[in-house]
Amino acid sequence: MVNSIDNREKINCLVLLSGGLDCAAALWYAKRKGWNPLCLHLYNPNTITQAEPELAYAQLQADFFNVELVVDDKSSLPQKTKENMYSVLQGMSAIAMIIQGNKDIDFKYIVWGANADDSFRQRLQLRYPLRALAAGQSHQLEVHGVKPRHIIQAPLNIFPFEYLYKSEIISMIAQDKPELLDLVWSCSGKYKNDDRFGYVPCGKCTKCLEFKFAKHTANKAIFKKQEGKLF
């Protein structure tokens, strides 16, 4: 999959694209900056129950911005770890292999969608990716020819939303690319796969309700701004 990357000479940043809001926002930010991102999706149906809809929505988001999506399904680590460390380690491993295996691509930035609604531990793991890698079993990564101490030294890690809440991020996107919000997957419950409408979120799980509340809060803020009631 990696060997099929097109327009190598134009790519200058990397965005992990899960299909959710945070990653969609990271991609939106990269495009707003005028950068040319390569998107990376971590596909692991063995450990992620939402793997299929997440992949589908990640592709929709990539298509929306007309950027390439690389799907990684080979860098998964064998065991789960606490505090979402599994996905962090898988992400670092995949990023390492993309960068190390494509040295002809000048990755200047890695854009992350971490925000104030994420746990402090999760944001800390992302801000120090080398430490996150070191926390895993490095010999499992070296099987792929990856040496943790040589990972991600050149690209600059960008956290544009670290101190913003999801409702604030939604508000920003809604005023620029509102259509993007219809291409966000935010469900951890029992979704439906409808022949006509595709993947349909359950609308009842914590993630569905959080996303709904964040959109409602963002819409209220936009309305107040338009009415001149918000400074």
- pLDDT tens profile 179-207: 999 999 999 999 998 877 689 999 999 99
Q: Is the pLDDT of residue 127 over 80?
A: no
Mean pLDDT computed over every residue of the chain: 78
Containing domain of residue 117, as a range?
2-165
The one-letter amino acid code at 4 reads S
How far, in Å, CA of 116 to CA of 97, rounded?
29
The pLDDT tens digits of the residues spanning 34-90 come to 999 999 998 877 666 889 999 999 999 999 999 999 998 765 444 444 445 555 566
Residue 36 lies in a domain: yes
Beta strands in 1-132 (DSSP E): 13-16, 37-42, 68-72, 109-111
Give the angle 4-99-81 at the CA atoms, nearest 5°. 105
Looking at residues 28-38, what average pLDDT do you find? 96
The helix (H) or strand (E) run that includes residue 199 is strand 198-200
Residue 6, in any domain of the structure: yes
Q: What is the CATH number of the domain that holds 65?
A: 3.40.50.620
Q: Is residue 88 part of a domain?
A: yes
Helix (H, G, I), strand (E, B) or coil at 6: coil
Q: pTM value?
A: 0.78
Count of domains for the chain: 1
Residue 113 lies in a domain: yes
Does 211 reside within a domain? no
**Domain assignment of residue 38, yes or no:** yes
